[in-house]
Amino acid sequence: MEFSEYVAARRPRLIRTAVLLGCPEADAEDIVQTTLAKALRSWHRVAAASAPDAYVNRILVNVLHDARARRWRGEIPTLDLPEAASADPDLAAGLAVRAALQELPVDQREVLVLRFWADLSERDTAAAVGVAVGTVKSRTSRALCALAELLAAADPTDTGDRHAR
């Protein structure tokens, strides 16, 4: 695949991935530009890889780590999410998920976003974040539980009777 084709097909998705991973929306395009520039330099390797998306997402994760260390001095700034429009339940739910993702530890957030949004396999997720496949599995399990608890805690309709069922 030519690099220009890849960029046209993947750029919007990469921006969403960056934001879900914790990048402020205002910085996401810059982060993705840096990621794509790095991927371009190694394009002959990326294009030859069995999973180019995994390769590029690994670059994105590393770029975000560097940005956190240099610009944001640790945790990302708290995202200023808009108030959910009560008429749009999907929008409300999506914003609630984004708020919950912010509350998760970085390593749990990463595996959730890479596995269930970027749709990487466990093996490719492990390569992207630099851990063993077993670690991805255990982190995913903990992250799913943590996300469920955060969403339940944030849900005004949740009466807390779930555990009693």
Partner 1 sequence: MPADDALTHDDARRLLRLAADTIDVSNVADAPLTPASRWSRDRHHPFAIAAAVVVLLIGGGLVWKGFDHDAGPPPTEPRNTGPVPTVLGYERDDAVELLEDAGFIVTVAGINGCGPIGYATDTVPGTGRSTTDGRVTLRYVQAAPPNAGCDPGAPSLLGLELLAFARGVGPAPPFADQVTLIVDNGRPRTVAGAKLADAVWWRSNSALGPLRRAAGQTRPGSGDEASQVPALASYDAESPVPVCDAPRPRRIGGQQAHRLAVGFPDDLCTVTIDLYGDLRPEDPKASVIDTVVANSGTPARTYGRSVVPMVAGLGLQEARDQLAMSGFRFRVVRDPVCQPTGVTATRPAGGTRLGIGEQVIVHLETTDSAC
The site for partner 1 (CB under 8 A) is made up of 3-4, 7-8, 11-12, 15-16, 19-20, 25, 29-30, 33, 36-38, 40-45, 48-50, 70-71, 90-91, 93-95, 97-98, 101, 112-113, 115-117, 119, 123, 126-127, 132-133, 141, 144-145, 147-149, 151-152, 162-163, 165
Residue type present at position 75:
E
| Least distance in angstroms from the C-beta of 67 to partner 1 | 10
Closest among 135, 139, 126 to 51, alpha carbons compared: 126
Residue (156 or 165) nearer to partner 1, CB = 165
| Least distance in angstroms from the C-beta of 117 to partner 1 | 4
Write the CB contacts of 107 (distance below 8 Å, at least 6 apart in sequence).
129, 139
CA distance 32 to 22: 13
What is the signed CA dihedral for 62, 119, 7, 30, rounded to 10 degrees? -40
| Least distance in angstroms from the C-beta of 29 to partner 1 | 6
| Least distance in angstroms from the C-beta of 60 to partner 1 | 14
Write the CB contacts of 132 (distance below 8 Å, at least 6 apart in sequence).
126
Residue (75 or 98) nearer to partner 1, CB = 98
Return the DSSP state at 83: P
Residue (4 or 156) nearer to partner 1, CB = 4
103, burial (CB in 10 Å: exposed 0-12, middle 13-18, buried 19+) = middle
| Least distance in angstroms from the C-beta of 80 to partner 1 | 13
Residue (61 or 112) nearer to partner 1, CB = 112
